[in-house]
Amino acid sequence: MSRSFPVRLAPDVSFDTSYKLTELHIPAEGAATLPSTADGIDAAAYQALDDPQLQAQFSRPAAQADQVESWLVVEGMVCASCAQIVERHLRDMPGVISVEVNAAAGRARLVWDAQRTAVSTLFVAIASLNYRPFPVQHIGDDLQRRDERRRALWRLFVAGFCMMQVMMYAAPAYFAAPGDITPDMDQLLKWASWVLSLPVMLFAATPFFANVWRDVLAHRVGMDLPVALGIAITFCASTAALLQKSGEVYFDSLTMFVFFLLAGRYLETLARSKVAANLEGLSNRLPQSVERFVDYPASCETHGALAHQLRCGDVLRIAVGQAFPGDGVVVEGLSAVDEALLTGEGAPVSKRGGDAVVAGSYNLEAPLIVRLERLGRESRFGEIVALIERAASEKPRLAALADRYAGRFLVGVLVLAALAIVIWSLIDPARALWVAVSVLVVTCPCALSLATPAAVLATSGNLAKRGVLVCHPGALEALADAERVVFDKTGTLTSQQLALKSVQVLRDGVEPDRAVAVAAAMERGSLHPVATALQSAASDKLQADCVREHPGAGVTGILDSHIYRFGSAEFSWPGFSLNEAVGVIGLLADEAGPITLMCFGETLRDDARQAIDELKLQALQVCVLSGDRQETVSEVAAQLGIADARGGQMPESKLAVLAAWQGRGKPVIMVGDGINDGPVLSRADVSIVMGSGAPLSQSGADLVLLSNRLGDVPAAIALARRMQRVIKQNLCWAAAYNAVCVPLAVCGLLPPWLAGLGMASSSLLVVLNALRLTR
């Protein structure tokens, strides 16, 4: 995530915002705290995990009686040897059955005997090694999704394997000349096909029948009803023909049909599991444990407390690099807090006694003592989580329209098949059933269902070659129809680096280059973006002595027998005032007074201007919607030629603006990063994040620009529009095919085997046309 550092300034008010930033590692899962020893939390705090209700969140019964399987997040592991240390230590403990530790994922799986040990004992054992263990949240839901994916994959494998074998046995019937196959061999091949169809019917196709039964109990008609009827009738009728040794069998069409349907269902399962995991992963951004004062301010004694034990009014000590578990007020201390994930503001914000802090932000410089005021859903972080959940649950207009007419379509299909049976029962009763099967097979929308997915998958593969990851392929259709592209500023239009914009000389005889070199000398070794900008701008490389950092203020050092101070105006020279808000400010001063005032600003991405110009050539409206200050947003927009730029936008206001744009009837594309963009990214018709964006936003985005090139946004839109043309061609072909074949099936001119062959041929043509998008 890029970090820009604008500060809060008012006329005649000195700079009191900290800007020093330490390098921080935030794990992908678990508590967002720095690895530390177990001294900060005692064994008593872990005993709460022995509560059965709490334990059920990260454990489940194992295969053997009295054995429990638990999943943990272990912080502080940096290599494989760390995992081996934890494994060896736990294996030597009584009651531990097995241990598996993955250092890369920071996960541990334990199987232990509940009669011989307690899970709290295992947590304490890990903590004694100077690692921090935490329970994995939502393990039940995660295991359920994993089992669902596993079952779906097994069904797909069984259907695919049986389909290939049945097609091999059915091939002679299609291609052999009359008399080439003896009746006994023909019957043997049919029986072999029947045997291979049994796993498909009894295992692979069971979800369709189960869904139909559930719909019947609920007195509704579902999409699986005609599918299940076609499968059941085909199998039963083919089995009857096999037993009677007369008539045709269609086990090949049956297995092929089930395989294609299951392939689509498997992709749907993957997408659904990912969305659920994204929402649950939000809670893992908060710390799992903190230090809580026993009786503040009467006593400075602290004990470790797990997150679920916290209450409003508790006074906590928030360590450097730790996230705030709830909204609260700073009681004591001075530090800088990173709120970029929540507000979009790239600069760390100075916090001191009386200042408010929000859940999910990170303490960067020095420990803070904080009194909690809001927790969980009542906190600012909880509100953003709720916004994301609500925005993600809202159904698009076209999806709602499709749901409205889906029942009527299904009823029409069933009525058509029933009419075919009635009519042909009067004309030729022996053919009535097969005519109905032909109608069901033809009207089952194989070509129609492949028309869009085939083109979308081909487009996704093409974009992947460019470094654009398509997380939700269905969004490509909205990408092609969009009329507006909305950009967040920080980390999207701007890069991760600051640049020195100007140097204002405050003392006669001072050379700007010399002042920059002095400031760079004192900042040497720092990873802060301001320090990086100074190192790039300094033409001379000087060496400062006695360099000392002052949290929440700046830095001091000695150079050529002069004591220099660089940082906020209040720190460098108390009483120095700024007359206007000019962005990120650094004041250089010595014993005699202020020397120079340096202004730092964000740098645009190298391809930002070209990308914006290309979007305009595509007749798209380009806007900026940012949580940053209006002045900063307007300045960036002016450089890019963007007329509509709105700053100071919080998540709620972003959603309101986006909803107003969507109310005009055209899809809206949102390009951004950071948790603060989560609600608007979820609500947007198409969400795109940079590869350097927040992992949370990437996990929920429709497209991720792994290339970090803004130029891939107009390229993706152009390819999506081309994809839309191919989809229209495929749909026209599928519609024409059904318009011709359905009447033929109803009239009895299309036997089931020819209906199945026509369905496969139509699908193949659709796929081949879609493959043109890979070029």
Closest residue by Cα to residue 316 from 291, 336, 351, 352 = 291
CA distances from 368 to 101, 286, 352 (A): 33, 17, 8
Number of other CB atoms surrounding residue 16 within 10 Å: 16
pLDDT value for 26: 30
Task: At 129, list the tokens.
Answer: 């090694």
Q: Quick check: is 328 in a domain? A: yes
Closest residue by Cα to residue 692 from 499, 508, 515, 495 = 495
124 within 8 A of 78, measured Cβ to Cβ: no
The side-by-side arrangement of strands in the sheet containing 315-318 is 302-306, 289-293, 315-318, 368-374, 327-332, 356-357
Alpha helices (H) in 482-583, listed in sequence order: 512-523, 529-537, 569-572
Rounded Cα–Cα distance for residues 341 and 326 (Å): 15
Same domain, 512 and 585: yes
Same domain, 349 and 473: no
Q: What is the CATH number of the domain that holds 314?
A: 2.70.150.10
Tens digit of pLDDT for each residue in 217-266?
Answer: 767 666 677 778 888 888 998 898 899 887 778 888 788 878 877 876 67
Q: What is the mean pLDDT of the chain?
A: 77
| Phi/psi-derived region of residue 525, left when phi > 0, alpha when psi is between -120 and 50, beta in every other case | left
Same domain, 507 and 573: yes
For range 579-585, the mean pLDDT: 63
Tens digit of pLDDT for each residue in 741-763?
Answer: 888 888 888 776 676 666 656 76
Q: What is the CATH number of the domain that holds 93?
A: 3.30.70.100
Question: Which structural domain, as residue segments, surrounds residue 94?
Answer: 4-141
At a CB cut-off of 8 Å and minimum separation 6, what does 598 contact? 500, 502, 503, 504, 515, 516, 519, 585, 586, 587, 588
pLDDT value for 105: 55
pLDDT band at 775 (very low <50, low <70, confident <90, very high): confident
How many helices (H) and strands (E) the chain has is answered by 25, 27
Q: Quick check: is 419 in a domain? A: no
Same domain, 13 and 135: yes
Q: Is the pLDDT of residue 614 over 90?
A: yes
Q: Quick check: is 772 in a domain? A: no
For β-strands 349-351 and 356-357, DSSP reports them as unpaired
Q: Which of 180-189, 370-379, 575-584, 709-718 has the lowest mean pLDDT?
A: 575-584
CA 462 to chain centre: 21
Same domain, 460 and 588: no
Task: At 641, list the tokens.
Answer: 């030629």
For range 355-375, the mean pLDDT: 88
Q: Quick check: is 436 in a domain? A: no
pLDDT value for 104: 53
For range 518-523, the mean pLDDT: 90
Rg of the chain over CA atoms, in angstroms? 33
DSSP string, 633-689: HHHHHHHHT-SEEE-S--HHHHHHHHHHHHTTSS-EEEEE-SGGGHHHHHHSSEEEE
Closest residue by Cα to residue 764 from 175, 262, 268, 260 = 260
Rounded Cα–Cα distance for residues 167 and 489 (Å): 56
Q: Quick check: is 216 in a domain? A: no
Q: Give the three-class secondary structure for 366.
A: coil
State residue 648 phi and psi, 5-degree precision: 65, 30
Q: Which of 147-156, 253-262, 399-408, 516-525 has the lowest mean pLDDT?
A: 399-408
Q: Give the three-class secondary structure for 55.
A: helix
Same domain, 546 and 464: no
Q: What is the CATH number of the domain that holds 521?
A: 3.40.1110.10
For range 1-7, the mean pLDDT: 31
Residue linked to tokens 């992709």: 267
Choosing from 604, 635, 663, the residue where a domain stops is: 604
Q: Is the pLDDT of residue 212 over 70?
A: yes
Q: Is the pLDDT of residue 516 over 90?
A: yes
Task: At 413, list the tokens.
Answer: 């299909």
Give me the number of domains the chain comprises: 4
Same domain, 468 and 368: no
pLDDT value for 519: 92
Same domain, 489 and 499: no
For range 629-655, the mean pLDDT: 87
pLDDT band at 583 (very low <50, low <70, confident <90, very high): low
DSSP string, 214-278: HHHHTT---THHHHHHHHHHHHHHHHHHHHHT-S---HHHHHHHHHHHHHHHHHHHHHHHHHHHH
Q: Give the three-class secondary structure for 742.
A: helix
CA distances from 153 to 156, 435, 688 (A): 5, 33, 29
Choosing from 346, 361, 388, the residue where a domain stops is: 388
Q: What is the CATH number of the domain that holds 692?
A: 3.40.50.1000
306 within 8 A of 152, measured Cβ to Cβ: no
pLDDT value for 472: 72
**Does 611 or 751 have the greater pLDDT score?**
611
Q: Cis before residue 297, ω within 30 degrees of 0?
A: yes
Same domain, 484 and 612: yes
Q: Is the pLDDT of residue 8 over 60?
A: no
pLDDT band at 446 (very low <50, low <70, confident <90, very high): low
For range 208-222, the mean pLDDT: 76
Rounded Cα–Cα distance for residues 511 and 252 (Å): 85
766 within 8 A of 734, measured Cβ to Cβ: yes
Rounded Cα–Cα distance for residues 307 and 31 (Å): 10
% of the chain beyond a pLDDT of 90:
17
Helix-helix angle 446-465:251-281, to 10 degrees = 50
Closest residue by Cα to residue 359 from 393, 331, 385 = 385
Rounded Cα–Cα distance for residues 149 and 6 (Å): 46
Number of other CB atoms surrounding residue 773 within 10 Å: 23
Same domain, 613 and 540: no
Number of other CB atoms surrounding residue 335 within 10 Å: 24
At a CB cut-off of 8 Å and minimum separation 6, what does 620 contact? 482, 483, 484, 485, 717
Rounded Cα–Cα distance for residues 376 and 253 (Å): 54
Same domain, 541 and 475: no
Task: At 771, list the tokens.
Answer: 């493959």
pLDDT value for 217: 78
pLDDT band at 401 (very low <50, low <70, confident <90, very high): very low
At a CB cut-off of 8 Å and minimum separation 6, what does 424 contact? 431, 432, 435, 436, 748
Residue 453 parent element (H or E): helix 446-465
Q: Is the pLDDT of residue 118 over 50?
A: yes
Choosing from 96, 114, 141, the residue where a domain stops is: 141
465 within 8 A of 676, measured Cβ to Cβ: no
Closest residue by Cα to residue 289 from 69, 39, 23 = 39
Q: Quick check: is 746 in a domain? A: no
* Direct distance between the N- and C-terminal alpha carbons of the chain, in angstroms, rounded to an integer: 33
Same domain, 660 and 633: yes
Rounded Cα–Cα distance for residues 322 and 36 (Å): 11
pLDDT value for 6: 30
**Does 682 or 562 have the greater pLDDT score?**
562
